[in-house]
Amino acid sequence: MDATSSSTVVSQMRLSSRNFRPRFFESCPQIKTFMPPSRYACRNSSGSRTILSSNSVDSQSNNISGFSYCQPEKRSNVMGKTFCSAALYPSIYDEDLAKAPSHVAEEKIGVLLLNLGGPDTLNDVQPFLFNLFADPDIIRLPALFRFLQRPLAQLISTLRAPKSKEGYASIGGGSPLRKITDEQANAIKMALEAKNKDVSVYVGMRYWYPFTEEAVEQIKRDKVTKLVVLPLYPQFSISTTGSSLRVLQNMFREDAYLSRLPVAVIRSWYQREGYVKSMADLIEKELQSFSTPDEVMIFFSAHGVPVSYVEEAGDPYKDQMEDCIFLIMRELKARGINNGHTLAYQSRVGPVQWLKPYTDEVLVELGQKGVKSLLAVPVSFVSEHIETLEEIDMEYKELALESGIENWGRVPALNCTSSFINDLADAVTEALPSAAAMSTSTSSEEVENDPVKYFIKFFFGSLLAFVLLLSPKIFLAFRNNLL
């Protein structure tokens, strides 16, 4: 493979990024209806309906939405429900298409790292928030009210921006995510080179530069023949990995080259031994900084999601988070570390119920119960970001100390920890053989949506639109909650 092109990928993308504006792809309605027998229907961008097969993961072929997933989801279809995200559009696999790019030329392997993105400067904060709230996987409106998505995003981003700006100002005037993700990209490339794999590593952010769309354009320009997609979120959520995969799926569906490109998606990787051990290493090391390590409460703080994601849309995030904590604690026990631990969820936004228990409430309770030493462990993300540097290190630390906790510590994010990067490189290598083309075909079969559920959605959608846009009292409550 061409060494020059592979080593310049990240910087090439940087050069073009300033002129790029994101496209807002039409997205699939969030179908929560249960479709017998084993099929779901969803409208695609042209308005025709696609047949979705029953479970989000076909455990035999491990092939979801035409992407080939190299790690079967243990509990992806929680409580027998499904949800409509890019990762979960099973489609028909076309072997002829799959062969096309790989046998034409010399193999060029690409690794696409997906991440959230963050504002580089304070001026970027409002447009970044706009992109975030304009995402139908972040604010999930019923299909009929999708036209409100962008006006609502404009409103919420404008209301939220001053508070967000304060946060970013306190951590140096912008998000460190881009820099850290670029460093991780370089580290993964080098780790793969050490394993005799020459790859180009691309960074695709969901809400800020370099956007996923830019990274994919670069992948096309580089004529990559095989792609591994690696979201930098250990656990899968509709709102993170799901959202990024939706962008990819829309791009891949529309493009002749991309639709033939063999792709493997590493859907979640919190269960990998390398990740679990790397987290345990960090915790073990940080515990040593306390005068009485055995008495320290290990406090896992995960980014929350609204409860409806888990209970209505079948987001596996909560289950995966609990599994993840179990695995890390099991590893610590195997090392003779038997501290107490707690899991709580942080960073809630807006007036809906989020996963509980809430980090701030648990900290107060622990202080009241007499816990004196606490080690905070950010667990849903692998880079330092605003929620670690501002929310945990400043807000939660202050709250904990006020609540009676005397000794506070925080485990750093994994960033470029070598055992972790090495494990991600292994994950890429293991995924490569399962890369398969994504199909663009849609079935002609049609399955009717449940009209009752459709009506219920319509009714509550109207109510939501009314409440959000017309009722001044609730609007004010909403506003106060955001600010």
Ligand X SMILES: C=CC1=C(C)c2cc3[nH]c(cc4nc(cc5[nH]c(cc1n2)c(C)c5CCC(=O)O)C(CCC(=O)O)=C4C)c(C)c3C=C
Residues that bind ligand X (CB under 6 A): 116, 118, 129, 132, 138, 160, 164, 175, 177, 233, 237, 239-240, 303, 305-306, 349, 380-381, 385-387
How far apart, in whole angstroms, are the C-alpha atoms of residue 36 and residue 40?
8
Quote the least distance from Cβ 15 to ligand X, whole Å. 22
Quote the least distance from Cβ 122 to ligand X, whole Å. 12
Q: Is 261 helix (H, G, I), strand (E, B) or coil?
A: coil
How far apart, in whole angstroms, are the C-alpha atoms of residue 313 and residue 315?
6
Residue with nearest beta carbon to ligand X: 118
Whose Cβ is closer to ligand X: residue 133's or residue 252's? 133
Quote the least distance from Cβ 382 to ligand X, whole Å. 9
Whose Cβ is closer to ligand X: residue 252's or residue 309's? 309
CA distances from 271 to 26, 112, 464, 471 (A): 33, 20, 38, 45
How far apart, in whole angstroms, are the C-alpha atoms of residue 246 and residue 155?
24
Whose Cβ is closer to ligand X: residue 293's or residue 357's? 357
Whose Cβ is closer to ligand X: residue 213's or residue 387's? 387
Q: What would you report as the CA-atom Rg of the chain, rounded to the nearest whole angstrom?
A: 22
CA distances from 305 to 310, 346, 358, 468 (A): 8, 9, 11, 20
Whose Cβ is closer to ligand X: residue 199's or residue 321's? 321
Task: Please identify which residue in the block is written with the tokens 């509980």.
Answer: 356
Quote the least distance from Cβ 54 to ligand X, whole Å. 26
Whose Cβ is closer to ligand X: residue 94's or residue 315's? 315
Listing DSSP states for 42-57 in one string gives EE-TTS-EEEEESSSS
CA-based nearest residue to 363, from 321, 392, 325, 383: 392
8 Å CB contact between 75 and 324: no
Whose Cβ is closer to ligand X: residue 285's or residue 356's? 356
Quote the least distance from Cβ 156 to ligand X, whole Å. 8
Residue 225's identity, in one-letter code, is T
How far apart, in whole angstroms, are the C-alpha atoms of residue 75 and residue 314?
10
Task: Please identify which residue in the block is written with the tokens 């959202």.
Answer: 243
Quote the least distance from Cβ 420 to ligand X, whole Å. 16
Q: Before 210, cis peptide (omega within 30)?
A: yes
How far apart, in whole angstroms, are the C-alpha atoms of residue 101 and residue 142?
38
Whose Cβ is closer to ligand X: residue 175's or residue 249's? 175
Quote the least distance from Cβ 392 to ligand X, whole Å. 12
Q: Which residues, in sequence order, are bridge partners of residue 343?
A: 300
Quote the least distance from Cβ 362 to ligand X, whole Å. 18
